[in-house]
Amino acid sequence: MNKNPYIDFIAKYRSNPVLFVKDVLQVHPDEWQAEFLSHIAGGERKISVRSGHGTGKSTAASWAMVWYLTTRFPCKIVVTAPTSSQLFDALFAELKSWIRNLPPYVAELFEVTSDRVVLRAAPSEAFISARTARAETPEALAGVHSQNVLLICDEASGIDESVFEAASGSMSGHSATTLLLGNPTRSSGLFYDTHHRVKADWKTMHVSCLKSPRVSDEFVREMEVKYGAESNQFRVRVLGEFPLKEDNTVISADTVQSAQKRDIESDPDTVPIWGLDVARFGADSSVLAIRHGNAITELISWKGLSLMELTGRVVDKFNNLIPRQRPTEILVDSIGLGAGVVDRLQELDLPVRGINVGEASSMSGTYLNLRAELWFKLKDWLAAKDCKLPVDSALFSELVSPRYQFTSSGKMKIESKDEMRKRGLPSPDKADAICLTLASDAATATFGSKHSVQWKKPLKRAVKGVV
């Protein structure tokens, strides 16, 4: 009678995931990845890993799932993330690629679908299930019971507490293991607590980009130059440390004061660029910002105007200028009511572009949307110390008020106008109008010096964010 080869296979690798990764998947884990896998095999039931960007945490989690499913029966593995994109486009996609890398005699044991990997012979008793961790449906992670249970929470900073609470019942068994991994984007919540208040209950790991062979020195230098070594952005994305709660404003008061005090004259030969922020509520103002090179030369506010009245004011301003003083572009926030202004100005043959600040950034790995990109672009523009802002107390307040935060995926997000209103702050209409003038750089990069004669064409950024 021939001996079943899988018995020897399981006996060899059941307690040694590092050897499994080397022998079966034909890769060599980083030092921290090997330690992480060894913690799971060693019986640690609660493991929490905070790391910088690109250190291989999703890869390590994928290896853990493949090893666990291959060497344990019965077993139920649930993998989750705050959003479907984070779950299916990132972690679960990588998991499936490693399943495909298994030797045929192992891979043939499993069936892979869009959201599951199951043991063909017992699909209800041995599987990996991908389930989005949304606060609206926390019960999705409840009711998972088996002799062996593995719960993996990717981008754990962004997972709502109610989801963890719902999952706690499934993790009560003696062979249940919970793995939390992610960029430390939020200084609150369970993920934060596992590294602070309840750290004694968890095996914690910290992975800095500075010590990761997967992260280039160039990336580290770029982050340091762009944001500063003391910034929250550098702490989260490079050092793998939680952000400091005090450091959450986009633009400092010193930066704005310096820009308002500078004695810089606008170049009269520079073709101006206009940015128009259209009011959405009665208390808000529509604001036209005029930029000549590195100087904001004029801010015009209108309150209580209809869309047609606002369009008329812009047209009058344009027509009353001599041709060389007219703007190359008028960049208008096209969300909501602004779309009507864009349409009418185009009908009147003015050089207008609609900018949808709510859609994708051209740097989608860094910023949640175009609005966040433009605010940080404004910050960099002001910090360069060769630009000029008008002395305007309202503008000063608007520029220093908005806060930023990190999303669960490590992208930077600017506080919305509605969120600012809840804090008792007015809409930053003047500041947003100035931000819009900086969106023209995308057109320059695409069309070159002659882009002014092609103003009817949309900005082409290879993203949906500019129309």
Unique residue bearing structure tokens 């209103």: 421
- Where would I find the beta strands (DSSP E) of 303-427? 329-333, 352-355, 404-406, 412-414
362/441 Cα distance (integer angstroms):
12
Residue 246's pLDDT is what? 52
Axis crossing angle, helix 307-319 with helix 338-347, rounded to the nearest 10: 40
321/399 Cα distance (integer angstroms):
29
* One CATH from 3.40.190.10, 2.60.34.30, 3.30.420.40, 3.30.420.240 for 253-454: 3.30.420.240
Q: What is the CATH number of domain 5-239?
A: 3.40.50.300
Write the pLDDT tens digit of every residue in 375-384. Answer: 999 999 998 8
Residue 444's pLDDT is what? 35
Of the spans 100-104, 165-169, 228-232, 272-276, which averages the highest pLDDT?
Answer: 272-276
Mean pLDDT of the chain: 86
Judged by DSSP in three states, 70 sits in helix
Residue 215, both tokens: 């992260």
- What is the chain's alpha carbon radius of gyration, rounded to the nearest angstrom? 27
| pTM over cut 0.85 | no
Unique residue bearing structure tokens 């409840």: 142
Write the pLDDT tens digit of every residue in 178-188. Answer: 999 999 988 88
Average of pLDDT values for 283-312? 92
347/466 Cα distance (integer angstroms):
19
> Which one is predicted more confidently, 29 or 173?
29
Residue 136's pLDDT is what? 56
> Which one is predicted more confidently, 444 or 277?
277
Give the start-to-end residue ranges of the domains of the chain. 5-239, 253-454
> Which one is predicted more confidently, 65 or 155?
65
| Phi, then psi, of 222 in degrees rounded to 5 | -60, -45
Unique residue bearing structure tokens 């590195």: 294
Measured in whole angstroms, the distance separating CA 356 from the mean position of its chain's CA atoms is 18
N-terminal to C-terminal alpha carbon distance within the chain: 70
Cβ pair 111, 175 in contact under 8 A: no
pLDDT above 90 for 344: yes
